[in-house]
Amino acid sequence: MTARSEERQNSAAGNPSRLSGDERRQHANALIRYFAANAPQLLRAPDGILKRPSVSPSLPGKRYSTQLWDWDTLWTSRGLFRLAALQHDASLKQKLCEHVSGSLLNFLEHASAEGRIPILMTTTDPDPLRVLGTNASSKNQAKPVFGQLALLAADQRGEVGWLAPYFDTILRFYSSWTTHNTSSIGLLVWGDDVAIGDDNDPTTFGRPSFSSANLLLNCLFYEDLIASAELALRLGRAKDHDRLSGQAQTLAQQIQMYCWDPRDSYFYSVDVQCVDRRAELIPTVPRGMDMSWKSLPMRIQMFTGFLPLWCGIASQTQADDLVKINYLADDRLCARWGVRSLSSRESMYSLAFSSNPSNWLGPVWIIVNYFTWKALQRYGFHKEAAALADKTISLLASDLKVNGSLNEYYHPDTGAALSHKGFMDWNLLVLEMI
């Protein structure tokens, strides 16, 4: 038995049991107290380039604290609104409405004429990663989360009129994605591997430009189209509602067609570089059999395989098979302290610290636990979802007790904090599990 397999076996044998009611309350209360004490520090006043109030992903003085990131803003905002609800804090909710809406508008007001939006902004630079303009150094742009962020803000504010002057900017943003990043099979591809969210995902990181139809990108885009379709309905824009809904359903069909692997009962990101070059390379040789495939599944089991369940694209049969065969059968993904970001059976699996890009090759991230928890809940795995919630609550409560704050990602077998003390961001999503 290898050292790694022995460690996994010991981990599986030592899985923590379900929390008792008292334990759950104690851990939950500790986390709520911590978040309540620190939440005001995440609400940033207008400053420099960020002309509107915004939401910071980290505590002042910690990594990322002076930055405004695309998808981080969505998850931080969700967690903060959940905190306000748990605390019955109307004042915090009112402030959040201002700061979450402000974060969104900071992004939308810096969109380029063609609709591209920066991934990252700071108080002194509207585009530090240089994704806008004709001389952009990256071929990526912001992740498609602004419809979801706008809908969250609209739901909490109880009205949507404030968004009306900016809704066309969101539509231009979608158009810029589909114009420049749609593959031959209808799935979106990353332009390169700069700031893709799950930074060193092997299905995108280090791969050729415009080759990776990554599930994270496509499932986020699907969910954003659904959110903006709802916003269009509330804004009285019926044609936009119908068009966005149709676009979402078409994308869902493409994800089903190309990303579901019946052999492994798993959803995979796909490579879209399949091009028949015989006419170019051997023009005098008869072509023979046609190349009938336009993509190839990248059979690397990232957590992203759960995302079609998170956003409801999977069928119930697919969800049943995926969860039972790939999550419950062993500990390749299901670890003592949550969900491994990459299966422990992959050759790239590593728990080493990495700051740039951050490490998504196995460590537990709370956003990964959250996606999987939502997926399990959505498809009726309520017992399994509750067990994952207990693991997540225990993990963060333990980190808080030992280190006095939270961290960015964790060792899946020991629960040890691996990076960036003071990180808040999507750690706040644990509040939805309470």
DSSP string covering 4-55: HHHHHHHHHHTPPPPPPHHHHHHHHHHHHHHHHHHGGGGEEPPBTTB-S-EE
C-alpha 118/C-alpha 133 separation (Å) is 10
- Cis upstream peptide for 357 (omega within 30°): yes
- Say how many domains are in the chain: 1
pLDDT in tens, 197-222: 999 999 999 999 999 999 999 999 99
Single-letter code of the amino acid located at 93: K
Q: Is the pLDDT of residue 2 over 80?
A: no
pLDDT in tens, 397-429: 999 999 999 999 999 999 999 988 889 999 999
Mean pLDDT value of segment 229-244: 98
Average pLDDT, the chain: 94
429 occurs within a structural domain? yes
C-alpha 71/C-alpha 78 separation (Å) is 11
User: 54 pairs with which residues across the strands?
Assistant: 44
C-alpha 312/C-alpha 396 separation (Å) is 28
Three-state SS string over 174-238 comes to: HHHHHHHHECCCCCECCCCCCCCCCCCCCCCCCCCCCCEECHHHHHHHHHHHHHHHHHHHHCCCH
Cα 344 to the center of its chain, rounded Å: 20
Q: Is the pLDDT of residue 431 over 50?
A: yes
285 occurs within a structural domain? no
For residue 311, the domain's CATH number is 1.50.10.10
pLDDT in tens, 105-151: 999 999 999 999 999 999 999 999 999 988 899 999 999 999 999 99
Q: Is the pLDDT of residue 21 over 80?
A: yes
417 occurs within a structural domain? yes
Q: Are 250 and 180 in contact (CB under 8 A)?
A: no
Q: Are 313 and 251 in contact (CB under 8 A)?
A: no
20 occurs within a structural domain? no
Residue 415, domain extent: 3-12+28-276+292-433
Q: Is the pLDDT of residue 11 over 50?
A: no
Q: Is the pLDDT of residue 58 over 80?
A: yes
Q: Are 16 and 391 in contact (CB under 8 A)?
A: yes
Closest residue by Cα to residue 308 from 291, 289, 296, 323: 323
22 occurs within a structural domain? no
Q: Quick one: pLDDT at residue 387?
A: 97
163 occurs within a structural domain? yes
23 occurs within a structural domain? no
pLDDT in tens, 243-293: 999 999 999 999 999 999 999 999 999 999 998 889 899 999 988 898 889
C-alpha 273/C-alpha 210 separation (Å) is 8
17 occurs within a structural domain? no
pLDDT confidence bin for 16, thresholds 50/70/90: low
C-alpha 227/C-alpha 281 separation (Å) is 46
Establish how many alpha carbons lie within 13 A of residue 281's alpha carbon, considering only the half-sphere containing its beta carbon.
5
Q: Which residues contact 255 (CB under 8 A, 6 or more apart)?
A: 187, 215, 218, 219, 222, 267, 308, 313
